[in-house]
């Protein structure tokens, strides 16, 4: 199967690449793209920045690949307080800020996970890493505070928040292709970020790294440890995604 997998940053693909054949540059008009084979599938991996529009542009740039399914992957923030770092979430519904309504393109589920239990389904099917199957909120900004996360959880029943899936879902609907949303947790529901990542997010879908560093140096006791912690968590989350995709069947 030909799978187009879209994330915001190449780091989100590091775990997946460990289980794929050696990746080759795809030479597409996006920030980063690679082709490889993974679990019997031909995959095109694209990282094109944060946000719906950047994710949608990634899909547009990949049409010569002729994908048979679209996948939004990468990192997410927990809204459900029971979630832990590097937990895998497979979206059953995509909730958006537009009236807190559901996306017009409902996510599909991998063949070897059950909608009831996230356990492998079917005789002789390789086991996916355990995952939570639940609604995911696709936001237009970073949910940075514990109160905001708590409110989103209460209002939407989504267990996690991310920022790209709706852009991929809209393209999947237009192309009449299956759409999947698979994320891994990097920050917890009860945590408030001390770094203002929304203020550092540029219109091109990338963080102003120097701005983050300069502001962190003004409050090094609190802000620098958070950056290091997020980096370490991102490594764990990327590895968890790699383990999940290594045995996932679409």
Domain 2-247, what architecture?
3-Layer(aba) Sandwich (3.40)
- Which helix (H) or strand (E) segment is 41 a member of? strand 41-47
- List, in sequence order, every residue forming a beta bridge with 38; answer none if it has no partner: 41
Using DSSP's 3-state secondary structure scheme, residue 138 falls into strand
State residue 54's pLDDT score.
98
Burial call 229-241: b when 16+ CB within 10 Å, e when fewer: ebeebbebbbbbb
Alpha-carbon distance of 135 to 175, in angstroms, equals 23
Alpha carbon of residue 95 to chain centroid:
14
DSSP 106: P
Domain ranges within the chain, ordered by starting residue = 2-247
State residue 97's pLDDT score.
87
Alpha carbon of residue 21 to chain centroid:
22
Count Cα neighbours of 82 within 13 Å in the Cβ-side half-sphere.
Answer: 6
- Tell me which residue has tokens 């923030």: 77
Residue 124 contacts by C-beta under 8 Å, 6 or more apart in sequence?
A: none
Residue 117 above 80 pLDDT? no
- Tell me which residue has tokens 């980063």: 32
Question: Region 98-116: what's the mean pLDDT?
Answer: 70
State residue 120's pLDDT score.
43
Q: Is 25 left (phi over 0), alpha (psi -120 to 50) or beta?
A: beta
- What is the value of pTM for the model shown? 0.92
Residue 123 above 50 pLDDT? no
pLDDT tens for 21-75 read 999 999 999 999 999 999 999 999 999 999 999 999 999 999 999 999 999 999 9
């Amino acid at each position: 199967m030909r799978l187009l997998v879209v994330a915001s940053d190449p780091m989100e693909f590091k775990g997946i690449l460990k289980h794929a054949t050696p990746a080759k540059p795809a030479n597409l008009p996006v920030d980063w793209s690679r082709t490889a084979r993974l679990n019997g599938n031909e995959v095109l991996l694209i990282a094109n920045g944060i946000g719906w529009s950047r994710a949608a542009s990634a899909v547009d740039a990949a049409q010569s690949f002729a994908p048979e399914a679209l996948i939004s992957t990468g990192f997410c923030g927990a809204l459900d307080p029971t979630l832990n770092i590097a937990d895998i979430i497979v979206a059953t519904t995509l909730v958006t800020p537009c009236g807190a309504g559901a996306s017009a393109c409902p996510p599909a589920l991998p063949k070897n996970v059950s909608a009831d239990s996230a356990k492998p389904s079917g005789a002789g099917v390789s086991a996916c890493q355990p995952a939570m199957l639940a609604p995911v909120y696709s936001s237009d900004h970073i949910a940075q505070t514990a109160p905001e996360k708590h409110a989103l959880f209460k209002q939407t029943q989504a267990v996690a928040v991310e920022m790209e899936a709706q852009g991929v879902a809209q393209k999947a609907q237009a192309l009449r292709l299956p759409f999947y949303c698979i994320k891994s947790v990097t920050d917890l529901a009860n945590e408030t970020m001390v770094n203002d990542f929304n203020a550092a997010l540029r219109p091109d879908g990338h963080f102003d790294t120097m701005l983050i560093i300069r502001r962190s140096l003004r409050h090094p006791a609190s802000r620098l440890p958070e950056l290091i912690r997020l980096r370490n968590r991102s490594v764990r989350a990327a590895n968890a995604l790699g383990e999940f995709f290594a045995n996932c069947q679409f």
